[in-house]
Amino acid sequence: MDITIHQTFLPHDDPDKSLTFYRDVLGFEVRNDVGYAGMRWITVGPAGQPGTSIVLEPPVVDGCGITEDESRMISEMMAKGTYAGINLATPDLDGTFAKLEASGAEVVQEPTEQPYGVRDCAFRDPAGNLLRIQEQR
């Protein structure tokens, strides 16, 4: 079998803030930016990796079977930063941390040597999604 990771989805509650964060702070390429019925889906990804993308999407889309209670729960979890997350990697963890911290991104954890064998840090994006950034060794 030959399977790759093509896309992952993260919710956003402000597409412009998310676009600025992923494009201008993380340096990802914008691959697609689509609006429909007052909603917006933005596809971004790392330069040089055209087959791997993050789709920033509305957390709740009308007509998709999500109840009002579920929608409220999703909003509450996003606000707490417990709804979605992604692990990223960089060869320069300290430099990446400094750039993200200087951008005003919410720091969750400074670079730390973890007991499970990686060195990483953590931030929240503008929608509250948890981004763990691991040092490539």
pLDDT digits (tens, 9 = 90+) for 91-131: 999 999 999 999 999 999 999 999 999 999 999 999 999 99
2, pLDDT greater than 90: no
Model pLDDT, residue 60? 81
Summarised one tens digit per residue, pLDDT across range 26-57 is: 999 999 999 988 889 999 999 999 999 999 99
22, pLDDT greater than 90: yes
3-state secondary structure the chain: CCCCCCEEEEECCCHHHHHHHHHHHCCCEEEEEEEECCEEEEEEECCCCCCCEEEEECCCCCCCCCCHHHHHHHHHHHHHCCCCEEEEEECCHHHHHHHHHHHCCEEEEEEEECCCCCEEEEEECCCCCEEEEEECC
Model pLDDT, residue 80? 87
If one looks up domain 7-135 in CATH, what number appears?
3.10.180.10
